[in-house]
Structure 1
Amino acid sequence: MVQRQKRLIAVTVAASVLVLTGCSGGGGETADVSFSDSPSGALAAWGFDNADDVGTSRVEYAEKQLSDVDIEIDQTAFDAQKFTTRVASGNVPDVVQMDRQFVGTYAAQGLITPLDECFATHGVDPDEQYYESVVDDVEWDDKVWGVPQFYQPPAIILNKRVMDAAGVTADQIDTSKPDVLLAAIGKMYTASGGNPTVLGFDSVGVNQAGLWLLGFGGEIMDDEGVPALDSPENARALDFLKQLFDAQGGYAKYRSFTDSFDAFGDNNPYVADQVAAQVNAQWYVNVLSPYVDEVQIEAVPFKNIEGEPFSVASGTAFVIPVGAKNADAACAWALELTSQDAWLAAGEARAATISDSPGAINTGLFTGSPAADEAIRDQFVKESGNAGFDQTIATFYEVVGEGESYGASAAGQEIQTELKNAVTSALLGDKSSEDALADAQDAAMRAYDKVVN
């Protein structure tokens, strides 16, 4: 398959997903599965742990549309090791919600079912319904293997109170201009006894390494999903990340400082003025909204090295395991949950929840579907009365269409693990960027060759 731009997100995952019994590379052999537009019978779902108003409203909507289907949901969170064990034993649910980062690996190992016929039977064109980058997340070997939901684009949330005090303006928080950004950090960073007390810019460099590497023109895998961690552009991006951390006490002290953050609480980094700017996913605006009177925020896009707004896709997907007893109902349920009508029901439920909380701000929903996103924004996202929050919300809407996929690879999980190890090693100064990435590439290629050969 010539994938459009297959990429990788650097987050912690269980390495056990590559340890499978009796699963071959190349997608494996899957049993014949047929889909209809009138499913019935019992449906067992696992991993749909979205118990908030957005999740429950969509479940209720899907149940009404599928009156002949008896739906039972195990809301425990997805577990990679448990999933592979269940598939190997043949004791599988009909549909599973998982992070999209798993999809390519499981497709290559023959653990999940391709869904092209599922989409076609229900008249859904993935390329029309979802953002291109979101579809890329679940494509492998010329097939679509998951029904996507959610898309959390990153951008940079600014703490205007800290920036104004240091005389730094929003245009100086520009990831396409390393010298300008480093100079701004120097004005805003403060320390006590050599330890950070205010970060000028939190790049979230390990967990967001993929964003930085892609933004610098690098690649993490090629168009066929083959690891490409040792590219010169990747090394330049990692060198710059190290500069950012070294300008703020070094990675070890940064980790110690940020580990103490009350990220979701009353003393979060924007209330406590512990950061001047930080890379964040869209959902973090919801975390800050209860503190609208205690923070002063705006946002700017993350920019690639060419100065253009740049984002990466992340989110979950529904997959149908090989051996599912009711793949027909699983297909229909996943598509109903991610239909525009279901998302509008979620938007209405969220708006009702917010109306019960005086002063709460509707930041919108980022669904993976551009039409649904715009419909929800038009109907439910109104001016809040706080110009900073309104500008921040608008910024995330502006960047959501600029995304690239982290992609799908037969060895996606191992590539992620090795990338994170390489970035951590380079930031700590244990290895040069080139050496760390070269070692990661060797390890990732061994994993890739093991799966596909």
Structure 2
Amino acid sequence: MRTRSAALAAVAVTAAAVLLAGCSSGSGGGSGSSSTPPSFGTKASGTLNAWGFNSPDEVGTSRLAYAKKKLDGVDIKIDQTAFDAQKFTTRVASGNVPDVVQMDANLVATYAAQGLIMPLDKCFSAHDVDPSSYYYPSVNDDVTYKGQIYAVPQFYQPPAIILNKKVMDAAGVTPAQINTSKPDELIAAAKKMYKASGGNPTTLGFNPVASGQPGLWILGYGGRLTDANGKPTLDDPKNEKGLEVLKKITDAQGGYAKIKSFSDSFDMFGADNEFAKNQVGAEIDNQWYVNVLAPYASKLDITAVPFYAADGKPFTVANGQGFVIPTAAKNKDAACAWAVDLTSPGAWDAAGAARAAKIAKTPGAFNTGLFTGIPSVDKKLRAQYVKPSGNEGFDQTIATFYDIVGDGKSFGASPAGQQINTELQNVISSVLLGKSSPADALKKAQASAQRAYQQATK
């Protein structure tokens, strides 16, 4: 379910991005990426129109309250709906854009290349923030295009591999055997844990979440999605290795079609999730999923290991959101101050306290941590709130995500970022279903991504 919805969203956003190219042609096209960064003042006033924070939890509401207090005198109006590229297109075309917008990091360079959002270098400097030393390098790189930063990052969700000890112990598999840098050993372990009925999987030994984590597999095996300028590089021969490994993993467990059909049926957010029902022996998941599993900790026996790159070292990728300021924003000073305040150490302190207060009122609950994109903040919140839970497996799982967060690599900021993601989904489907070789699928994907890149940068 998670991968199907992500793919549909990718198609919608990509189509809108193409439309945006036309909308921007009368206002300088791609000139925004090379223009002088606008100046920002620190005395915010007036009305601020923001778009973001769809159904905020206590982490979001506490930060919103903190920022509102910091911007006393500013009338803050928020459209609390999820980002929608078609809606953004319409608002850009009409000239009625919000002052600040929350969006996924992989969209930022697309709009930067169109000249539709402002570079924020001077926004940061006005508030005494140096992004290059403030954020994790991979987080900073994800929203930097042609040497300028275009978003205020928030959150960083690194993926790792969560292990189901019940399934592993029954099959005689150890955590050391779930090592992505040793594909043959990994596949052998997956086959020992794999179970099927009537030719259909009932337990996946190892769920690689291929359609949800394609970039992780390609980058982890030495590939690259873009060059230093954001130009797509999907046809790089080094991208083939990760796809070849994924094909072997899925073929060893009934094939990609059956794996995807089975995994799409998981009750991912419920009491009958894939770990509770022993439907997986090991699975790649982003850090937030530990929080989903925590309420069921007494029924689970989990631990975790990093995703290992081909060189045997722990590896992960940046994955998060950010706040951008449209070029046509009417109150950029307030937008800048609001975005910086929302993601400041003070705001995260408020979020940490709010999360801790909620956990304290929930029997059996424990703190799995907050991953903010800022190393110093992550370290502080971990020390203050993440305490031994009494469940050794969960504690080790939480620690694994903290251990790898500094090993992240950026997907690469590209004007064709969303199209690259869409094409990766097509590549995964074509290769894993046996319809195309990795080389042929990547060549076709490169042609499409390159057209999107040229459209965005002309």
TM-score by length of 1: 0.96
Which SS does the other structure have where 2:156 is aligned? coil
Structure 2: give runs of 5+ residues left out of the alignment: 1-5
How far the C-alpha of 1:30 sits from its partner, in A, is 7.4
The answer to whether structure 1 residue 379 and structure 2 residue 384 are counterparts is yes
How far the C-alpha of 1:26 sits from its partner, in A, is 4.5
The answer to whether structure 1 residue 357 and structure 2 residue 362 are counterparts is yes
Q: Which amino acid aligns with 1:185?
A: A
Deviations 1:11-67 (A, max 9, x none): 551222222224223536879843112211110110222511000111111111111
The aligned counterpart of 1:73 is 78
Segments of 4+ moved more than 4 angstroms: 28-33
Which SS does the other structure have where 2:298 is aligned? coil
**What is the rounded CA distance, in whole Å, between the counterparts of 1:94 and 1:408 in structure 2?**
23
**What is the rounded CA distance, in whole Å, between the counterparts of 1:290 and 1:417 in structure 2?**
34
Which SS does the other structure have where 1:73 is aligned? strand
The aligned counterpart of 2:255 is 250
**What is the rounded CA distance, in whole Å, between the counterparts of 2:395 and 2:122 in structure 1?**
41
The aligned counterpart of 2:125 is 120
**What is the rounded CA distance, in whole Å, between the counterparts of 1:400 and 1:28 in structure 2?**
29
Q: Which amino acid aligns with 1:191?
A: A
Which SS does the other structure have where 2:196 is aligned? strand
**What is the rounded CA distance, in whole Å, between the counterparts of 1:205 and 1:262 in structure 2?**
18
Deviations 1:410-439 (A, max 9, x none): 211212211211111111111111111111
**What is the rounded CA distance, in whole Å, between the counterparts of 2:398 and 2:55 in structure 1?**
22
Query: What RMSD in Å do the two structures reach over aligned CA positions?
Result: 1.4
The aligned counterpart of 1:6 is none
Give the counterpart of 1:340 among 311, 325, 345: 345
The answer to whether structure 1 residue 193 and structure 2 residue 220 are counterparts is no
Give the counterpart of 1:233 among 216, 234, 238: 238
The answer to whether structure 1 residue 328 and structure 2 residue 325 are counterparts is no
- Describe how 1:9-158 pairs up with structure 2 within 5 A: 12-13=9-10, 14=12, 15-16=14-15, 17-20=17-20, 21-23=22-24, 24-27=29-32, 33-49=38-54, 51-158=56-163
Give the counterpart of 1:319 among 324, 327, 334: 324
- Describe how 1:410-429 pairs up with structure 2 within 5 A: 410-429=415-434
Deviations 1:105-125 (A, max 9, x none): 000011101101100111110
**What is the rounded CA distance, in whole Å, between the counterparts of 2:247 and 2:140 in structure 1?**
32
Percent identity at matched positions? Answer: 60
How far the C-alpha of 1:450 sits from its partner, in A, is 2.4
Q: Which amino acid aligns with 1:192?
A: S
The aligned counterpart of 1:432 is 437
Which SS does the other structure have where 1:444 is aligned? helix
**What is the rounded CA distance, in whole Å, between the counterparts of 2:111 and 2:59 in structure 1?**
27
**What is the rounded CA distance, in whole Å, between the counterparts of 1:33 and 1:104 in structure 2?**
17
Q: Which amino acid aligns with 2:420?
A: I
Give the counterpart of 1:289 among 283, 291, 294: 294
**What is the rounded CA distance, in whole Å, between the counterparts of 1:116 and 1:81 in structure 2?**
28
Deviates more, 1:308-317 or 1:224-233: 224-233
Q: How many correspondences in the alignment?
A: 444
**What is the rounded CA distance, in whole Å, between the counterparts of 1:353 and 1:186 in structure 2?**
41
**What is the rounded CA distance, in whole Å, between the counterparts of 1:380 and 1:408 in structure 2?**
33
Which SS does the other structure have where 1:148 is aligned? strand
The aligned counterpart of 2:3 is none
Structure 1: give runs of 5+ residues left out of the alignment: 1-9
Give the counterpart of 2:228 among 216, 223, 226: 223
Indicate conservation of the 8 Å contact 1:29/1:110, yes or no. Answer: no
The aligned counterpart of 1:179 is 184
Which SS does the other structure have where 2:49 is aligned? strand
Q: Which amino acid aligns with 2:407?
A: E
**What is the rounded CA distance, in whole Å, between the counterparts of 2:53 and 2:92 in structure 1?**
18
How far the C-alpha of 1:452 sits from its partner, in A, is 2.1
How far the C-alpha of 1:232 sits from its partner, in A, is 1.8
Deviations 1:135-168 (A, max 9, x none): 0011001110000000000000000000000000
Which SS does the other structure have where 1:110 is aligned? coil
